[in-house]
Structure 1
Amino acid sequence: MNPSAPGPTLLGIDVYMVATGLVAVATFALMLAIYAVTTVRDPMAGRLKALNERREQLKAGITASTSKRRAKLTTTNQTTDRMRSVLSSLKVLQDSQLKTAQIKLAQAGIRSKDAAIKVIFGRLVLPIVIGGFVIFGVYVLDWFPEWSAMKRYIVTAGALILSYKLPDIIVKNKITKRSAAIRKGLPDALDLLVICAEAGLTVDAAFHRVARELGKAYPELGDEFALCAIELGFLTDRRAAFENLAQRIDLEAVRGVVTTMIQTEKYGTPLASALRVLSAEFRNERMMRAEEKAARLPAIMTVPLILFILPVLFIVILGPAACSISDNFVGK
């Protein structure tokens, strides 16, 4: 076979060249997958390393200065006070709006009260900064001269709306991720609560124990249970501690657990049996959710099957026959 002879073509495209490119892409994807698998890092390793470094610093006496911490805290408070004064002067800071923002931030795992002021201030400033920049670029600098007036209006209006909703979108994303992480560990936490209740521990001690045992596997859930245990210890109304737990977690399952705990505290019903029923219910719900995702797979896989798998299959099956037919016609 003459190596300089042209290879078979399909629709004017060299088949050998296309096959070589596909092999190169597959090899690169394989190497990337091997690299991703072999370089998986344990998240606890970084925490342990940071903890050991901090321990060594404390042993050597290298600690942060108290005056620097106080100055940093004072600077942060001054910035927040300026934001609060600006919002108050513009009559856009309402108590209900501030309370709603604090609840959303608590559900996202951010417990700083100053963060609510920053979110509300971001809603005010971001449309002015980002929207003004887009308006200046589109209408003054004439970035897209070929665009019609309607396209320019749509772009500027979209920039203004997106910049206004950007803080809420970020907070909502954090809430969704945190709620999903808590939902995964809730059945295990209820099982541990059942064991602690049957062992004779009080509710406060049971929450402390569950927070300590599940803190590594589910840090979000352990954090919330630890805070609830602390509130149970110092709040005069124990019902308020459970209601705060339901308020900080945006899950119906947690609200059901809180309702059960409140009824147990009020009427003296057996805690272990109620939590065992809830745990079984949550496990069944998690299984149903997994089955639902599995049932959606055929519909989800239809688009990748049509776009990526079937064309390759047709090329592999019909490609040699098409090449032969093309060579015969060219030879004749």
Structure 2
Amino acid sequence: MQTTGPTLMGIDVLWAATLLSAFATLCLVYAIYTALSVRDPMAKRVKALNERREQLKAGITASTSRRAKLKSASHATDRMRTLLASLKVLQESQLEDAQRKLVQAGIRSKDAAIAVIFGRLVLPIVIGGGAAFYIYGLDGFPEWGSFKKFALFAVALITSYKAPDLFVQNKISKRSKEIQKGLPDALDLLVICAEAGLTVDAAFNRVARELGKAYPELGDEFALTAIELSFLTDRRSAFENLAQRVALDAVRGVVTTMIQTEKYGTPLASALRVLSAEFRNERMMRAEEKAARLPAIMTVPLILFILPVLFIVILGPAACSISDNLIK
């Protein structure tokens, strides 16, 4: 390739700058498109919850098409359940624990608990057996010693066994963080609704609508709690279900406060206002803690990525000029 402009390490600087400018323009167009095409993440969930409420009112649990899908899915679940029961590895306590964690992860299908337990059984056999066959049967990694081969087999076996739990725990952690971000705002809105004279279920429903776009996970939980408050005879059960669905101590504190105000008749707005102030202080403390860790965290990226680029920007033109003068 014939170069007419300044070069750096044999690369035409103008050509490289043109490519980088085109890539930056493409990224900018994609960012604008993403910002303009934001969809409401709460609309689909609210629609599903409203359909479920109407079905419960009408005494219908599912439509015909949904029943067909559930029936096909239940056949696969029944096969897995039968296999696990025949091997005597399916325990009721284990099933309840898996269902509770899946609900905290936002997965409310009861069949998913069977799939998680089945994955714990099948994945070690498939992945661990495949690793053992490759390492010992096909003599994979012949230059490795026996200890390294056994360590690789053990890592593959343990990782495949823990993979379903790690996946569920990761979803629980992400969902809990998203709910924790919007909890102070939700409590402030609950205080406003309580002072405006709305009932508890109406207040939860209004907060779910208002915060559904910004915090869809929190809006989903509040909308489901509002539905349970309107259907269940015991309102305490609806609050306890909310505490079980969210793996956060802050939500448990809110549930305890709601139960106590229902039982003893204490003012709801003042109690929620105190909780909201505490949660905001905790959020500010977490932000200050992250800001205090930032200089130590930025040291390695600064040395590896920012300083070399800075040196290239400062010394690049001089290096190009020196290179052109030496070539001439």
2:21 aligned residue: 27
1:127 aligned residue: 124
2:220 aligned residue: 223
1:258 shift after superposition? 0.8
Structure 1 residue aligned with 2:277, among 260, 277, 280?
280
Give the TM-score normalised by structure 1.
Answer: 0.81
1:250 shift after superposition? 0.9
1:295 shift after superposition? 1.9
The answer (yes or no) to whether the contact 2:41–2:213 under 8 Å persists in 1 is: no
Bigger CA drift: 68-77 or 111-120? 68-77
2:300 aligned residue: 303
1:59 aligned residue: none
Structure 1 residue aligned with 2:156, among 137, 156, 159?
159
Structure 2 residue aligned with 1:293, among 290, 294, 303?
290
Which residue identity lines up with residue 29 of structure 2 in the other structure?
Y
1:277 shift after superposition? 1.2
Provide the C-alpha distance between the structure 2 equivalents of 1:74 and 1:166, rounded to a whole number of angstroms. 28
1:305 shift after superposition? 0.8
1:79 matches 2:76: yes
Provide the C-alpha distance between the structure 2 equivalents of 1:126 and 1:202, rounded to a whole number of angstroms. 49
1:198 aligned residue: 195
2:56 aligned residue: none
Structure 1 runs not aligned, ≥5 long = 9-13, 52-64
How many residues in Structure 1 have an aligned counterpart in Structure 2?
309
1:247 matches 2:244: yes
Give the TM-score normalised by structure 2.
Answer: 0.82
Give matches, 1:1-332, under 5 Å.
15=9, 17=11, 23=17, 26-27=20-21, 29-40=23-34, 41-44=37-40, 68-315=65-312
Provide the C-alpha distance between the structure 1 equivalents of 2:258 and 2:326, rounded to a whole number of angstroms. 82
Structure 2 runs not aligned, ≥5 long = 48-61
Which structure: larger Rg? 1
Higher RCO (CA 8 Å, separation ≥ 6 residues):
2
Deviation string, structure 1 residues 29-77 (Cα, Å, up to 9, x no partner): 52343233232131239979xx9xxxxxxxxxxxxx9655433322211
Provide the C-alpha distance between the structure 1 equivalents of 2:228 and 2:316, rounded to a whole number of angstroms. 70
3-state SS in 2 of match to 1:110 = coil
1:289 shift after superposition? 1.9
Provide the C-alpha distance between the structure 2 equivalents of 1:18 and 1:329, rounded to a whole number of angstroms. 16
| CA spacing shift, 1:218–1:26, aligned 2, 3 Å | same
The answer (yes or no) to whether the contact 2:42–2:220 under 8 Å persists in 1 is: no
Provide the C-alpha distance between the structure 1 equivalents of 2:66 and 2:194, rounded to a whole number of angstroms. 42
The answer (yes or no) to whether the contact 2:42–2:212 under 8 Å persists in 1 is: no
Deviation string, structure 1 residues 105-160 (Cα, Å, up to 9, x no partner): 01011111111111001100111111112222222223322222222212211111
3-state SS in 1 of match to 2:11 = helix
3-state SS in 2 of match to 1:287 = helix
Percent of aligned pairs sharing the same letter: 70
Which residue identity lines up with residue 157 of structure 1 in the other structure?
A
Which residue identity lines up with residue 286 of structure 2 in the other structure?
R
Provide the C-alpha distance between the structure 2 equivalents of 1:206 and 1:138, rounded to a whole number of angstroms. 61
Deviation string, structure 1 residues 226-285 (Cα, Å, up to 9, x no partner): 221222233333222211111110111111111111111111111001111111221222
| CA spacing shift, 1:321–1:201, aligned 2, 3 Å | closer
Which residue identity lines up with residue 31 of structure 1 in the other structure?
T
1:161 shift after superposition? 0.9
**What is the root-mean-square deviation in Å for CA atoms of aligned residues?**
3.2
3-state SS in 1 of match to 2:247 = coil
